[in-house]
Every structure is written in C-alpha cells, then in structure tokens.
Amino acid sequence: MAGCATLPPGPNYAELVKQMMDASFRNEGIATTDRLIQDQANAACSEAQGANPPDAVVEAIQQAALKSVRMPSDGKFTGDWREGAKLAQNGRGMTWTDKTALPKDNGGNCLNCHQVTKEELSYGTIGPSLYHYGKDRGVLDPESPEARPIVEYTWTKIYNAKSYNACSGMPRFGHAGLLDEKQMKDLMALLLDPKSPVNR
C-alpha cells in the first residue's frame, strides 16, 4: 500500500502539525481555537495513533485522571433515570452551532456510541452495550453499601473515563465540565436503578 512509503528524514512532524493546526482553524461561536491545545493525555494518545502509549505514560495519565474525580457533594450517587434516559438520547452540545457551552445545553450523547435499552434500536456501536449494566453487576439498590464499589467505579468512568483507560474514546463528562452533578446522577440512575429500562 502506498501509505507504507518510507518517510523522508528531517521534518519535525510534531512542530509542522502544530503550525498547520494554528494556520488552518479559526474561532466560530463557542468553538474557539484554544480547543486545539492538548493536555498530556490527548497528546500521548494522539502520538500513539491508536496503539497504547508506553506503560509509564498510561499509568501517569490514569493516576492524574483518577485524582481529578470529585464524588457527589451530598454522598448520593443516583438521580432520576427518566431524566437520564432523555440525556442519553440527546446528542447535542459543544459544537460551533450550539449557543452556550453550559451543561444545561449539553446532552449525554450516550446513544451515539452505546446500546442503552432493548427498545431503542437507533444506537451506535463504538462503545460496549450498556443494556443490563446494573443487572449484570448484581446491583439491587445503588445506594446500598454492597453496591458502593460498582457505583463509585461507574461515577468515576462517567466523570473521567481516562481513570481506568488512558486512551478511552469516551468524553470526560465531569472533568471537562460537559455535564453537571445532577445530570451525571441521572445517568447513574439510568445505568444502575433496577427500575430503569436499562435493567429490565
């Protein structure tokens, strides 16, 4: 394949990419060019081009991500699964055609990549199916002490998916300020409440 052609030596590609990005993009609405700046995780995962960064880098990214996670201020992890279902359907937010970058104007985008219920057939397949998420993990009462490990794991995953998978494809909903605490609790209920359509 032509793509395997050997590269000419010399060019500093990282620098050339930066110059090219800076020259090619402009601000439009809420989508400003500071979005091009990469943190350690995005820089390392881009550089790896689909493979994993070196082990030490992976470890550092995951540790930093884990540290960023703030547990719910009132100690309660789940809200209303009905609201969570609406958020899961909503694929809007953060584009240059969206009015604000506030959580109230953002969806959860879940269905874009995950199966969530049995009834909704229009779902994406980039992420794993979440159907029976709580049921398969034996969650009977998400606020009970027994459920605490899986509940904290799930909160952490939604808040900052890089905590457990340095180059996870999932947005960092809490860390990036995409969703507020109440919205994340509603998504938690959707995934973990035994009455939610996810677990029926």
Say how far apart CA 118 and CA 122 lie, in whole Å.
Answer: 10
**Complex with other proteins: residue 3 or 75, whichever CB lies closer:** 3
Instruction: Give residue 77's Cα distance to chain centre.
Output: 18
Token pair 């900052």 is at which residue?
160
Taking the complex as a whole, how short is the minimal distance between the CB of residue 44 and other proteins, in angstroms? Answer: 9
Where on the chain is the footprint of other proteins (CB under 8 A)?
1-3, 5, 7-8, 11, 13-14, 16-17, 20-21, 23-28, 31-33, 35-38, 41-42, 45-46, 49-50, 91, 94-97, 101, 109, 111-113, 121-126, 169, 171-172, 176-178
**Complex with other proteins: residue 45 or 130, whichever CB lies closer:** 45
Taking the complex as a whole, how short is the minimal distance between the CB of residue 37 and other proteins, in angstroms? Answer: 7
Sequence-distant (6+) residues with CB within 8 A of 165 are 62
Taking the complex as a whole, how short is the minimal distance between the CB of residue 145 and other proteins, in angstroms? Answer: 33
Secondary structure of residue 190 in the 3-state scheme: helix
**Complex with other proteins: residue 41 or 190, whichever CB lies closer:** 41
Tokens of 53: 């960064």
**Complex with other proteins: residue 7 or 56, whichever CB lies closer:** 7
Integer angstrom CA distances of residue 109 from 71, 147, 172 = 22, 26, 12
